[in-house]
Structure 1
Amino acid sequence: MNVAEIRKQFPILDQEVNGHPLVYLDSAATSQKPIQVIETIKHYYEYLNANVHRGVHTLGSRATDAYEGARDKLACFINAQHREEIVFTRGTTTAINLVASSYARSVCQEGDEIVLTPMEHHSNLIPWQQVAKATGAVLKYIPLQADGSIRLEDVEKTVTDRTKMVAIVYVSNVLGVVNPVKEIAEIAHRHGARILVDGAQSTPHLKVDVQALDCDFYTLSGHKMCGPTGIGALYGKKALLEQMEPVEFGGEMIDHVDLYESTWKELPWKFEGGTPIIAGAAGLAAAVDFLEQIGMDTIDRHEKQITAYAMERMKEIDGIEIYGPQQDRAGLVTFNLDDVHPHDVATVLDAEGVAVRAGHHCCQPLMRWLNVSATARASFYLYNTEEDVDRLVQALRKTKEYFGYATG
């Protein structure tokens, strides 16, 4: 993998921030975009821009081909069995809310169980809280081990015959934990439950096969996988999506409308009310092409190497605490430095041209489990190098000096 050549395809990386070459270590929040994605979106608006499905003119046909072609491409990328199992959404948050509002509220009753983990992003926590409030279902949590991982024996103890839904993140955006979702799906199905997998942090970095995972629902966001913002998708098994009702109503999703009754289109369009995110879908398709050209296994290997190097280098710094597993983790390192607030750490790093994330990372329950109010996070992607890590370590040493700590 020639990272130097890959970096040339990301125009935003070729700039200085505060007088230093940019080191972008915030891809878990959003990834940067390669030129072919940028050019695809530009091309769409210059040559294809029209509404989809309804028009019979040439531009409408071109736009429809681009939009539906993106659906085919994404279905292949995650190995969905049917193209109709891909519903375009604004992102992971919208996709999870769709399942919670349409599926879970219809199947959950008082006393039923929804199983989560304390490491869930707020987007995969709050919707289930609302389902529980609306239906009387009970939230249950799989306990975490000291390093933030989960054990399958604890999953076995938590999931019961009263469990209707298991909702779990594939890759934690804080701990870097990669959860055994295939095995968790087997346990859920043995008890008659359905499983939703939050794939926001896994789809950009791992080869995803939803059929092999046997998950019932899978969600993703385009902007974390080199695609544009505002576009994502819900994968759902066809039989489940067919029994679900839409949650947004209006144009595009209807079949027949009378004054007092209406009927819906077939899958997946019954869930895509209003003018869809056409340019975003075209950009997401270009992102999928870009990732497949490099190869997801290649990306995964590169990130593991960078992360291992970062863990080794960062441990050289006295007073640093790193959260999550020490090995077998995804491409991010979440940490705190001595008694320096994470926002102060991020501010000093930014002055050195190093961009990291600081805060609770939309995981306040997990922060409380870690017994901290916030953390700093450096997250890596296919365009990061060991030199980026060296710049991070150098900037962290300067941070310690700035706040009056002896460097280590």
Structure 2
Amino acid sequence: MSATAAHAHPAPAFDVARIRADFPLLARSVHGKPLVYLDNANTSQKPAMVIEAVDAHYRLHNANVSRAVHQLGEESTLAYEGARDKLARFINASSRNELVLTSGTTQAINLVAYSFALPQLKPGDAILTTLMEHHANIVPWQLVAQRSGASVKFAPIDERGELIVERYLDMLTPDVKLACVAHVSNVLGTVNPVREIARECTRRGIPLLVDGSQAVPHRPVDVQALGCDFYAFTGHKMLGPTGTGALWARRAHLDAMPPFFGGGDMIRQVRVDGTTFADPPHKFEAGTPNIAGFVGLGAAVDYYHSLDLAAIHAWEQELLAYATDRLREVPGLRLFGEVADKEPVISFLIQGTQSTDLATLLDLEGVAVRSGHHCAHPLMQHYGVPATLRASLAFYNTMDEVDVFVAALQKVRRLLM
């Protein structure tokens, strides 16, 4: 812990030590050092109740969903559909039937790309996205644009890592058939003004898709209040198992969209001369889903509800401010993304070093951070760098861990200089 008065740690708004006890993995060591896990934007750790929910499903309730009338099948279906109910309430969907369960944001966005966008795109049309997007909110649009003769336009950002909203709105021209934006940047932590963008898209009759992967774990999300048309998010970044996520969409869109995958459980009747499909959301959920994963994701939502979400956000903001100030002490360090409204994601480089070398040496000190392009090549190209180092915090992190991280960073920097 830093001993200087300038870095005196404020009293936590909630009991971080108690919360950390809920996460088994946080108690382990790596390379003989206590783990400091700062790669939460990549994937979050899981509380015991999520792990136990998955374990209990396989031990006590394992059966396929929607296909059996026996007791296990009913229990499994109730748990799976119960997760849909919990997620719908978590983002304030007006109906559970607006929520398609997916393997994550990537599948959700591809569903919109191929089922909503592709059937209506033609040469001369465009899709608008931004330079700060994850590849999952770029590559699917490029693929459907190539197949349809449409194009993909990129709204710019400024050097502070803020979307130039005026330019984004100016680019909402009549040729744009779909607009896309990240709620929170996975590299910069920038929070984009989704309500303002959605309002302007609605005025122009342009549907808006929001990538909410980095927002849902950190702030309350109300899709009705946001005013967007599609909202995609990922379970494993919000304390749940991997291979889970969801797409929320306005019911009118879901009714009009054709299925993306075909197979079992998404049909009403199959005949040799054609097939009629189930109503949304099930017509987009072909095959056996990740049942146990969604049981775990439902438990993750329960865990969030057991905490004070406002206190979580306040604590993460304190951690972000503290970590940012501490990192500014490191000689030669360049921060990326210094906007006022951001979530606890800090990307940086240290002059004269490589991000991969730093991350490798930090790992030997027990500190887990991310190095690379973070699936955001256009953003790296904007800043003229091949990669950055990224430290991303969660509510179970502590200021002591920030001190350990910065001390380790100072140490490995000296080794590399």
TM-score grouping bracket, smaller chain normalisation:
over 0.9
* 1:375-394 map, 5 Å: 375-394=388-407
In structure 1, the residue matched to 2:230 is: 217
Alignment partners' CA distance in 1, 2:343 and 2:145: 31
Change (3 A) 1:396 1:246: same
In structure 1, the residue matched to 2:167 is: 154
In structure 2, the residue matched to 1:184 is: 197
Alignment partners' CA distance in 1, 2:55 and 2:314: 32
Alignment partners' CA distance in 2, 1:212 and 1:297: 18
Alignment partners' CA distance in 2, 1:328 and 1:385: 21
Secondary structure, aligned partner of 2:225: helix
Give the paired residue count.
404
Alignment partners' CA distance in 2, 1:260 and 1:298: 58
In structure 1, the residue matched to 2:11 is: none
Change (3 A) 1:387 1:234: same
Alignment partners' CA distance in 2, 1:251 and 1:139: 34
Equivalent in 250, 253, 260 of residue 266 of structure 2: 253
In the superposition, the TM-score normalised over structure 1's length comes to 0.98
Letter in 2 for 1:294: L
Query: Any conservation in 2 of the 1:250–1:273 contact (CA below 8 Å)?
Result: yes
In structure 1, the residue matched to 2:289 is: 276
Query: Displacement of 1:156 after TM fit?
Result: 2.0
* 1:283-294 map, 5 Å: 283-294=296-307
Alignment partners' CA distance in 2, 1:264 and 1:277: 21
Deviations 1:182-211 (CA, angstroms, capped at 9, x unpaired): 111111111111010001111111100000
Q: Considering only aligned residues, what root-mean-square deviation do their CA atoms show, in Å?
A: 0.9
2:211 is the counterpart of 1:203:
no
Equivalent in 291, 300, 311 of residue 298 of structure 1: 311
Alignment partners' CA distance in 2, 1:298 and 1:127: 37
Alignment partners' CA distance in 1, 2:294 and 2:231: 17
- Uncovered stretches (5+) of structure 2, i.e. residues with no partner: 1-13
Alignment partners' CA distance in 2, 1:368 and 1:183: 27
2:187 is the counterpart of 1:170:
no
Secondary structure, aligned partner of 1:223: coil
Change (3 A) 1:326 1:153: closer
Secondary structure, aligned partner of 2:306: helix
Query: Any conservation in 2 of the 1:342–1:358 contact (CA below 8 Å)?
Result: yes
Secondary structure, aligned partner of 2:68: coil
In structure 1, the residue matched to 2:30 is: 17
Letter in 2 for 1:334: S
In structure 2, the residue matched to 1:56 is: 69
Query: Displacement of 1:143 after TM fit?
Result: 1.3
In the superposition, the TM-score normalised over structure 2's length comes to 0.96
Query: Any conservation in 2 of the 1:161–1:192 contact (CA below 8 Å)?
Result: no
Moved more, 128-137 or 3-12: 128-137
Letter in 2 for 1:107: Q
Query: Any conservation in 2 of the 1:253–1:265 contact (CA below 8 Å)?
Result: yes
Query: Any conservation in 1 of the 2:98–2:280 contact (CA below 8 Å)?
Result: yes
In structure 1, the residue matched to 2:352 is: 339
Query: Displacement of 1:138 after TM fit?
Result: 2.0
2:256 is the counterpart of 1:243:
yes
Alignment partners' CA distance in 1, 2:202 and 2:148: 22
Secondary structure, aligned partner of 2:385: coil
Equivalent in 248, 273, 279 of residue 266 of structure 1: 279
Query: Displacement of 1:153 after TM fit?
Result: 1.6
In structure 2, the residue matched to 1:307 is: 320
Alignment partners' CA distance in 2, 1:37 and 1:72: 17
Alignment partners' CA distance in 2, 1:366 and 1:146: 11
Query: Any conservation in 1 of the 2:190–2:339 contact (CA below 8 Å)?
Result: no
Query: Displacement of 1:328 after TM fit?
Result: 2.3
Equivalent in 317, 334, 339 of residue 330 of structure 2: 317
Secondary structure, aligned partner of 1:114: strand
Query: Displacement of 1:326 after TM fit?
Result: 4.6
Deviations 1:65-114 (CA, angstroms, capped at 9, x unpaired): 00111111100000001100111100000000000000001222211121
Alignment partners' CA distance in 2, 1:236 and 1:327: 30
Letter in 1 for 2:70: H
Letter in 2 for 1:62: E
Secondary structure, aligned partner of 2:391: strand
Query: Any conservation in 1 of the 2:36–2:401 contact (CA below 8 Å)?
Result: yes
In structure 1, the residue matched to 2:374 is: 361
In structure 2, the residue matched to 1:131 is: 144
Secondary structure, aligned partner of 1:262: strand
Moved more, 324-333 or 128-137: 324-333
Query: Any conservation in 1 of the 2:130–2:155 contact (CA below 8 Å)?
Result: yes
Deviations 1:113-149 (CA, angstroms, capped at 9, x unpaired): 2111011100110000012111122211211112110
Query: Any conservation in 1 of the 2:161–2:339 contact (CA below 8 Å)?
Result: no
In structure 2, the residue matched to 1:403 is: 416
In structure 1, the residue matched to 2:57 is: 44
Query: Displacement of 1:295 after TM fit?
Result: 3.2
Query: Displacement of 1:296 after TM fit?
Result: 2.8
